[in-house]
Amino acid sequence: MSKTSNTSNRSKSFAPVALLSLTLGGFLWGQSSADENPVAKGPVLKTPAEERIYADISYLAADDLKGRAAETPGLKLAADFIAKRFGELGLQTDLFDGKPFQYFDVTGEPGASPETNQLALTKPDGTKLPLALSDDFQPQAIGSNGQFNAPLVFAGYGISAIEENFKYDDYDGLDVQGKAVLVIRKQPKPATDTGPFVGSQPSQYAFFTSKESNAAKHGAAALILINDAASEKDNPGALLPVSGAGNNPEGDKIPTFFVSRSMAEAWLKEAGKSLAELEAAIDEKLQPQSFEMTGWSASGQSDVTRRKIPSMNVLGLLPGQGDLAQEYVVVGAHFDHVGMGGAGSLAPGTYAIHNGADDNASGTVGLLETARRVVEMVKEAPADKPRRSILFMTFSAEELGLIGSEYYVNHPRFDLAQTVAMLNLDMVGRISENILTVYGTGTAKEFDDLLTRSNEKLGFDIKRQPEGVGPSDHQSFFLKGIPVYHFFSGFHPDYHRPSDDFEKINVEGISKISDMVVFLTDHIAHNPERPTFLRSGSNKIRLGVRLKQGEQGVVVERVMPGGWAKKAGVEANDRILKIGDSEIANREQMDQALQAYKPGDDLEVQVQRDQETVVLKSQIGT
């Protein structure tokens, strides 16, 4: 009997366990004594596997772990729990300095303290005008940290738009080398029907990144941004938060600040100018109104901090045997969630424990159950131990942007070139109508047929998605040239809300999915031939974002690394309005609009960001 046939028989032996029925919605009610009120005893668990799964998910999704967010005791408790389970199963856990934890840092939200962030202007008579942090100004994370003391120059909109048959340059004839430049937000609003500023949509020159890099290229010592008249009218006196102009300090950067418009109006008035008149003159004539504010200077310091938050992945290894033992099959799941809510919650304004039973305690316990069953198979037939090593890996910081898995593929414990496949479980706890979505079926030549074989006894209604990119940790491996499967039971109204609790989990469904993952893992680990990687698992064009569920319209929840959206500058909470010339009101319209594009095409997407409409452009990756 061949390895393939033997693998098939052994893996399917778990199917009868999985097919036992469990209805989580029903509870048995009973009384321990005649004078006590009825109490809920919990769901009926009909197999040892279901008991294990339910016990594990009840712990990971308990209130005591407070949502397993980054830098919380709950995340560490979850990591320790997983490590203990790995050890109990006999997996090798002395992988990083004798422990199973691969530590890495997550960059926190940028912040600024008044002790190290200052801004002041000095008038021609020597009078110093200090500004108050948060009230009068905010440093911007888009710029660099540093000190400056420099003459002050007004540079209009800070734009250099030099195109065929068109030129507008606020820096033309203006010496800003070593000087601080005062710049208006957005772009001119000309009456003439020519050039890149025509229409209601902002051009690339209006972006904060364009203004900052342009000032740096002209040698400015610092950039001071202020609201244009329209933005000020919409939100009087508002300052951009520290990350409001962006959060990427890479490239040509200078200290950058945002100052209240009323402050700038007062400075310009004392310098003999009117900000409103300067702005109106630019709009009317489409001619720069830049000038040096003689005798005025600006000084200050930007010190935007990006605190490092410690986090970890947890790994356990089942070594293979023979000539393929140095090749690896990865089974992965993330174990973090969004804690008490905040930016990751789809229940705005709610400060409550988000237990994340489905997302992703379900995938974590599915991984643990898969590991247990594979180990039991080895114990039953030690001579038939898998040829390839199997690496069980749980990731943290997935909810912050696949950070844990991305860290692993860039700092692998074992040679990534010898990692032959990755199987990922994320949100597998809400199987309904027996439907299971499996991504990655087109990432290896053998995967579609192999998935069919794995489902012969289980009978899932499988929705196959060939692509290897998507908003979970399998993407990190696929982008490194590794075939992937990703198992997903579907979205639901409790997604990223406090109501995602373990009482709603379909335990039988997790057990059945574990059967499937066992079959696939065992087959790949035994097969003499490694899966044949296919780079283009799908012809579908994806933006590389995770969308918010339950929101009106198409709103970005998270930007995934390595995709078009990351390259183009899409941000969380952007609302997608148009793709090319197509207006977008729902997910279906977005997918349909993207069908018109292919790798290598230039793609333009219009988004609403706060009160602004922003147009983002970039080439679709090949």
Cβ atoms within 10 Å of 348's Cβ, excluding its own: 9
Q: Could you give the CA distance from residue 123 to residue 295 in angstroms, rounded to a whole number?
A: 7
Which of 20, 50, 69, 36 has its CA nearest to residue 372? 50
pLDDT at 197: 84
pLDDT band at 598 (very low <50, low <70, confident <90, very high): confident
Please tell me whether residues 254 and 224 are part of one structural domain: yes
User: β-strand 461-465 against 435-439: which pairing, if any?
Assistant: parallel
Q: pLDDT band at residue 301, thresholds of 50, 70 and 90?
A: very high
In the predicted structure, residue 456 carries a pLDDT above the cut 70? yes
User: Do 505 and 574 fall into the same domain?
Assistant: no
Residues with Cβ < 8 Å from 41, sequence gap 6 or more?
A: 27, 28, 29, 30
Q: Are 426 and 359 in contact (CB under 8 A)?
A: yes
Give the model's pLDDT for residue 144: 94
Please report whether residue 540 resides in a domain. Answer: no
State the CATH number of the domain containing residue 75.
Answer: 3.40.630.10
Looking at residue 315, its amino acid is L
Burial 597-620 (b: 16+ CB within 10 A, else e): beeeeebebbbebeeeebbbebeb
382-397 mean pLDDT: 96
| Cβ-Cβ contacts under 8 Å for 266 (sequence gap 6 or more) | none
Residue 538 belongs to some domain of the structure = no
Indicate whether 73 belongs to any domain.
yes
Residue 610 pLDDT exceeds 90: no
What phi, psi does 213 have (nearest 5°)?
Answer: -70, -35
Give me the CATH number covering residue 609: 2.30.42.10
Q: How confident is the model over 100-157, as pLDDT tens digits?
A: 999 999 988 889 999 999 999 999 999 999 999 999 999 999 999 999 999 999 999 9
In a domain, 167, yes or no: yes
Look at residue 425 and give its three-state secondary structure.
strand
Predicted pLDDT of residue 56: 98
Residue 606 belongs to what domain range? Answer: 545-619
Residues 229 and 198 in one domain: yes
Q: How far apart are the first and last CA of the chain?
A: 43
Dihedral pair phi/psi, residue 93, rounded to 5° = -120, 0
Indicate the Cα dihedral angle 9, 14, 20, 26, nearest 10°.
Answer: -150
Count the neighbouring beta carbons within 10 Å of the beta carbon of residue 500: 27
Based on the fold, state whether residues 274 and 218 are members of the same structural domain.
Answer: yes
Angle between helices 261-270 and 275-285 (to 10 degrees): 90
Helices (H), 315-458: 363-380, 403-410, 447-454
What's the rounded Cα separation, in Å, for the pair 305 and 112? 6
Q: Which amino acid is at 399?
A: E
Q: Which residues contact 438 (CB under 8 A, 6 or more apart)?
A: 451, 462, 463, 464, 465, 485, 486, 487, 488
**CB half-sphere exposure, 533, CA atoms < 13 A:** 16
Q: Residue 402: what pLDDT?
A: 93
- Say if residue 299 is in the same domain as residue 312: no
pLDDT, position 538? 54
The verdict on residue 536 lying in a domain is no
Q: What CATH number is associated with residue 249?
A: 3.50.30.30
The candidate with the shortest Cα–Cα distance to 483, out of 516, 524, 455, is 524
Q: What is the mean pLDDT of residues 535-542?
A: 68
pLDDT > 70 in the chain, percent? 90
Q: Are residues 468 and 374 in the same domain?
A: yes
The b-or-e profile of 370-380 (16+ CB within 10 A means b, else e) is: bbbbbbebbee
Which of 493, 526, 559 represents a domain boundary (last residue)? Answer: 526
Q: Is the pLDDT of residue 15 over 60?
A: no
**How much is the average pLDDT of 228-239?**
91
Q: From the CA atom positions of the chain, what is the Rg in Å?
A: 29
Separation between Cα atoms, residue 593 and residue 596, nearest integer Å: 6
Q: How many whole angstroms separate alpha carbon 373 and alpha carbon 522?
A: 10
| Contact in structure between 57 and 429 (CB atoms under 8 Å) | yes
Count of structural domains, the chain: 3
> Do 219 and 247 belong to one domain?
yes
Whether 475 is in a domain gets the answer yes
Asked if 412 and 419 touch (Cβ cutoff 8 Å), the reply is yes
Question: What was the pLDDT predicted at 350?
Answer: 81
pLDDT in tens, 151-192: 999 999 999 998 888 899 999 999 999 999 999 999 998 766
Residue 562 pLDDT: 75
In whole angstroms, what separates CA 428 from the centre of its chain? 19
* Residues 34 and 85 placed together within one structural domain of the fold: yes
Q: What residues pair up with 613 in beta bridges, in sequence order?
A: 608
pLDDT at residue 539, rounded to an integer: 60
Q: Which amino acid makes up residue 245?
A: A
Check residue 43 and give its pLDDT. 60
Q: Are residues 387 and 245 in the same domain?
A: no
Tens digits of residue pLDDT in 501-533: 999 999 999 999 999 999 999 999 999 999 999
Q: What is the DSSP letter of 596?
A: T
> What confidence score (pLDDT) does residue 250 get?
60
pLDDT over threshold 50, residue 16: no
What integer pLDDT is reported at residue 528 of this predicted model?
A: 96
Task: Please enumerate in sequence order all residues whose Cβ is within 8 A of that of 10, keeping only pairs 6 or more positions apart, or say none.
Answer: 377, 381, 384, 522
> Are β-strands 222-226 and 602-609 bridged in parallel, bridged antiparallel, or unpaired?
unpaired
Task: Write down the pLDDT at residue 32.
Answer: 31
Residue 217 has pLDDT above 90, yes or no: yes
**pTM of the complete model:** 0.73
> Does a structural domain hold residue 296?
yes
Mean pLDDT across 369-386:
96
Long-range contacts formed by 414-417: CB under 8 A, 24+ apart: 414/326, 414/328, 414/389, 415/326, 416/480, 416/482
Question: Which has more pLDDT, 394 or 235?
Answer: 394
Contact 422, 479 (CB under 8 A): no
What is the C-alpha to C-alpha distance for residues 193 and 85, in angstroms, rounded to an integer?
68
Assigned token pair, 53 = 């799964």
Residues 375, 418 share a domain:
yes
pLDDT above 50 for 14: no
Cα–Cα distance list, 515 to 23, 448, 455 (Å): 19, 17, 9
Tell me the torsion sign for CA atoms 464, 469, 474, 479: positive
My answer on whether 387 and 298 are in the same domain is no
Residues 312 and 295 placed together within one structural domain of the fold: no
Is residue 290 pLDDT above 70, yes or no? yes
H or E element that contains 182:
strand 180-184
Residue 246 is predicted with a pLDDT of 79
Contact by Cβ (8 Å): 409, 386: no
Q: Go through the chain and tell me how many residues it has.
A: 622
Residue finishing a domain among 303, 333, 361: 303
- Domain finish residue from 303, 331, 365: 303
- Is the residue at 537 inside a domain? no
Q: Is the pLDDT of residue 397 over 80?
A: yes
Of 326, 336, 499, nearest in space to 405 by CA: 336
- What is the pLDDT of the chain when averaged over all its residues? 89
The answer, yes or no, to whether the previous bond of 506 is cis (omega within 30 of 0) is no
